[in-house]
Structure 1
Amino acid sequence: MLTFYNNHHAQHHGRGEIFRGAAVPCSEKPERAGLVLAELERRALGRIVTPQGVSLASLERVHTPRYLHFLRSAWSQWAALDPANAGRDALPSLWPAHGMRRDVEPDNFTARLGMYASDAGSALTAGTWIAAKTGADCAINAAHALRLGERASFALTRPPGHHAGADYFGGYCFLNNAALAAQHLLDDGASRVAIIDLDYHHGNGTQSIFYGRAEVLFVSIHADPRHEYPFYLGHADETGEHAGLGCNMNLPLAPGASAASWFAALETACYKLAGYAPEALVVSLGVDTFAGDPRSSFALQSDDFSRIGERLAHLGLPTVFVLEGGAAVPEIGVNVVNVLAGFDGAA
């Protein structure tokens, strides 16, 4: 398996976030990718390479030009407001509510920041753009590797991506790596691509990007959004719209769901994937379903992640894995690599 590693990921390192009304240290931190990389190297699973840079036009296949321009320039604008801002992250403090206009971009930076943000937990830092852009490079390179003959590839990157929409960031995500990989597979000639999101939290950004399109199937297994982030999307009755009707499947699970319940949902997801008959698969690989993850109520153990990889391999599809969530617990590296090794061994 070929792994594309984002060696700029640590340049995005938020100082803090607002979580349930309190200022707390950021839980999405550089150690996450470091632990995965260390486990990959320890087990010598495949080859680790640096991605080639991709054009902004490739990103515009998923994200709006206005949003990309904001992300690229946000830190310099923030720092220009006040010399002291160089020592603190940019976090939004207001948002456009229902009925307010989003078509006119305000001149005020604070207003622009809120217009493109979905929460107060995703800090913009001096290195956010380079980290997110290199992560997008990893995802697109990983997708292209399938065309060059790889059976599977892995984008080892952070910040994650599946909460980022076409024109907003949130949930620690700025560019949607899984969506970029899927779109590149289509641009490379595939007529149908599927995405399965295994993160504890629903991939609201990915769903939104493809919700009206028939050429991408999105399937997600996640915690019920009535109880967990992102709260406002991820319900079972969201099945797509217009041309994409029937091309979206959400499998929300109740708090405290057992491993047996989770794997039953995986079987349902795999049945849907097989029926759609895609030419390639993108896996949003979040491992915050682990019982030891501090923000998870699910009960998967490290051995279960090997089973996940084996089951996905049995779909018989060229597959791109993209790292999403999972706290920097010691087991994160083992859990991620168990999925990859399980897939590799069964493929």
Structure 2
Amino acid sequence: MDSNIPLLGVVAVVALAMGFNYTNGFHDAANAIATSISTRALTPRIALAMAAVANLVGAFFGTKVAQTIGSGIIAQPQGVNGLWLVAAALVGAIGWNLLTWWFGLPSSSSHALIGGLGGAALVAGVSVQWSVILQKVVIPMVISPFAGLVLGYLVMVAILWLFRNANPGRVTRGFRMAQTASAAAMAFGHGLQDAAKTAGVVVLALNISGHHDDESIPLWVLVLSAIVISAGTYAGGWRIMRTLGRRIIDLQPPQGFAAETTAAAILYVAGLSFGAPISTTHTITSAIMGVGATKRLSAVRWSVAGNIVGAWFLTFPGAALVAVLTWWVTSVFR
């Protein structure tokens, strides 16, 4: 244990990590349930409660993602400055989450966290593990939206073909019920991905301070991360929900089911098989676009989609800049 690091400092960083986790929950609640609410498959509060529970359960399956964040993004910093680095990274991620939430833009909390870590590490003189970022962040960041777009389109085409002769009213009612399962699957994937990312940051802080000494994720860290992100999810991010549920396309239950099922499948493959911390926001947004394109290309409001994609590109540098500024401002305390 590093005797130069006070326990209060460790507790403060863990609390800051949980603050980020909470903003992640209400910022990304829309990812799981916006489509179900917009199609009236679920009422808002029932959808939020269901998503919170699914997030809670999903968190316990994301240890690979947690290990990527905790030890794969930056080299482990040392001493008190290492703890300040983690704090600056978290402030950068929280700041970006709050900014994009205010404007109703579904940006990536995951990429905000990684951007914050990268920015803080660079200004603090700590090595950034670029090869890991390329393999587990950049490549999945590029592939997952394309996968969501293409697979969402194909899943929706398959649904249209399978139910081409069915009664439209009966199909709508059936998919409205099916959306309960697909929304829960999406929320489970969000917990698997995003609660685990916060757990990874907590483990990084614990390793820096000497309270932990390997890449394993303590049970109490997973439980705490799961509970906090679930509470944030239940609080709901209504601004972003309106963007995902109504402004990109006008969703019907079969479309909502197709988008949620597609996005959940991509999240599971990335998290369980590769430990890749992909963006739930990018995945569900691109799936919605792909599903909407089966109507006609003009059914997708591409101007709204363009604003969202613009926010995606700004997330890494935006969160990194806030982290850098935080590092400089807090230098007087170190």
Q: Give the structure-2-normalised TM-score.
A: 0.26
The higher relative CO (CA closer than 8 Å, separation ≥ 6) is in 2
State which structure, 1 or 2, has the greater radius of gyration over its C-alpha atoms: 2
Q: Give the structure-1-normalised TM-score.
A: 0.25
The structure where helix makes up a greater share of residues is 2
